[in-house]
Structure 1
């Protein structure tokens, strides 16, 4: 309880100081005190509000950071999903590419097998083969066969020549081999037959039998076609009769070692004559030429001047 300073007031000449005035004074003091405490309360409230506001700001900042982190996590997840989708797409694309490659290879195989039905394909096919300046190997020639000096023409000669014996020379059948030895690659040559009416043309293994009884067939190492007595044959086992639309003046021989393919064309009209069924070759192959008698006529290897290799 507040004590009233009545003695002090009397001492300074306020004897008649009214209680009313004292009451007013007390009210004034109480007001001042009230104002003071109100200010303190207000300040506390203000500090509290600031703390609340700061808490709200911290809460807001935390929420923003949390949302940002969530966005980053979501973005990472989305990127992972996108990467996963890209990988899946790449796998599917690679699979489609492989399927396309297989389809292309299948089409190429179909195209290669279809060339036999295309009359002019012989001329196109020469672009895929190495054309050679082929010559004949005198060491392999049967004694009844006479070779020209340049080694490009073979004719029948009677009586037979006296030639030195050699394991390379044909004795039982009148054949001669070309100088070309093939163990890989693709080769093409042309032979002029003109009016020759009995001949064999093709390829054989380098080690075929040259003496004794020899049967020309793929099983014995020969891939050969024959003209005899006006009829054309593929020397398979048994022999295959061939029908030609036009008599050839030149015969083209296409040898593809890796494919196991030997094909013959009539170069007069570019038509296909015959292809031996594809079978793997073993060992080296050489061109083969045969005449049957003195009236067979000559066989002439066509001289090619450009983009060739002498063999």
Structure 2
């Protein structure tokens, strides 16, 4: 092939072309080709090395992340353990706090039993009366006991003689007492009664027509209705009591213009109408609301 190539070159005028030149050309071509492929291989080797380096970096990052995760788990475990200890400490403190409260309660109850009831010692300042009910004022739906100390609801209504003193529009009855001076006190048993009004009113309050129980109309009273206690101010005032009333004390100071109510079971104060403008006589007031109201009983004084 080389000989043919030489002859061809000689034929076209390259008589001096010789084997030595051909070999030099071939060597030069081979050298250039070798350089080209070496560079190509170097480039590929460089790319491969970059990939290897990137892989190592990724492996390092993954290792770091694993280490961080492990550290976070350890931290969480430590925090859990710390919280557990704190929770146990709080439980112990809470138990101690509860015991301290119970101890204080026991001390308070013990001391409270030794203190005279406020309403009891206040009774000494008031004139206690053997109060009875005035049948002439009783609404026809109200039935009075024979001794005149208990009032209950009765159906059907009684046929009673009409008189100016009798309540017709609201089911009330008044006590026989007329207060126009001094200080007076009486107690009423309300334990079995479910809806009632208790207090005082002027002797001349309206008995017929539309009557609103309020100080403006000459009434000073408290009420139990639908399980809630109220002071019959205008508007009415809700009363929050510690326990259900069983026995109520009514204290009237005519000169000071005060009407006060006390829970006689524990001596606690219920409500006071203070500095009222009284004129004329005041009468004890009792009211029931319906057939299921239950009785009101005046406590007899020994």
Q: Give me the TM-score of the superposition, normalised by structure 1.
A: 0.60
Aligned to 1:239: 236
Aligned to 2:291: 294
Tell me the secondary structure at the aligned position of residue 167 of structure 1: coil
Aligned to 1:139: 136
Indicate which of 279, 284, 300 corresponds to 1:282.
279
Supply the distance in 1 between the matched residues of 2:264 and 2:202 (Cα, whole angstroms).
25
> 8 Å contact 1:191–1:302 — kept in the other structure?
yes
Tell me the secondary structure at the aligned position of residue 187 of structure 1: strand
Aligned to 1:129: 126
**Deviation of the 1:195 alpha carbon:** 1.9
| RMSD (CA atoms) | 1.1
**1:263 aligned onto 2:260:** yes
Aligned to 1:162: 159
Is there any run of 5+ residues in structure 1 with no aligned partner, and where? 1-117, 306-311
Supply the distance in 1 between the matched residues of 2:198 and 2:169 (Cα, whole angstroms).
17
Displaced runs of 4+ in structure 1, greater than 4 A?
Answer: none
**Deviation of the 1:214 alpha carbon:** 0.1
Instruction: Give the number of aligned pairs.
Output: 188
Superposed CA offset, 1:156-214 (max 9, x none): 00000000000000000000000000100000000000121100000000000000000
1:198-209 superposed matches below 5 A? 198-209=195-206
**Deviation of the 1:279 alpha carbon:** 1.4
Is there any run of 5+ residues in structure 2 with no aligned partner, and where? 1-114
Supply the distance in 1 between the matched residues of 2:146 and 2:165 (Cα, whole angstroms).
20
Tell me the secondary structure at the aligned position of residue 123 of structure 2: helix
Supply the distance in 2 between the matched residues of 1:185 and 1:274 (Cα, whole angstroms).
20
Supply the distance in 1 between the matched residues of 2:194 and 2:298 (Cα, whole angstroms).
16
**Deviation of the 1:120 alpha carbon:** 2.9
**Deviation of the 1:249 alpha carbon:** 0.8
Superposed CA offset, 1:226-251 (max 9, x none): 00000000000000000111111100
